Amino acid sequence: MTIRTSLGLFGLAMALLAAQPASGHHSTSAIFENDQRITVTGTLTKIDWINPHIAIVVEVGEGASAGMWRIQGNPPAWWRTVGVARADFAKGLGQKVTVDALPAQDGSKYGYLRRITFANGEALESLNTL
């Protein structure tokens, strides 16, 4: 390998490294089905604005998905950099929300947040892949 190629690969590797998104505590693919989506509609009852991932709780009153859903999301620091604060979620507390999420691999009432739509139609969505 010539010096020129080595430096080129080093530069490319550094550029790729610099391009990686702020990562969370773990890869979503280890726990969630990355190629599937679920939609959960219920009442937003809790927001945990904590590291390494935020989490919200949605209570679904009836139907096959009835029960308490815990939906994990990107880290608080990521949300902060894109201009979203806990208060942006908290305005939906006690109200009906619709959540699109990656489902958990084990089929439990657990998911990874992609989009939350509030009762007034406003929405937040996280795109965490390059």
Site for other proteins in 5-34 (CB under 8 A): 7-8, 10-12, 14-15, 18-19, 21-22
Token pair 């010539």 is found at: 2
**Interface with other proteins, residue 52, by CB under 8 A:** no
How far, in Å, CA of 28 to CA of 118, rounded?
A: 24
Least Å from the CB of residue 87 to other proteins = 13
Closest CB to other proteins among residues 78, 110: 78
Residue 37 neighbours by CB distance under 10 Å: 13
- On whether the CB atoms of residues 8 and 16 are closer than 8 A, the answer is no
SS3 25: coil
Residues that bind other proteins in the complex, under the rule CB under 8 A: 3-4, 7-8, 10-12, 14-15, 18-19, 21-22, 78-79, 81-84, 98, 115, 117, 120-130
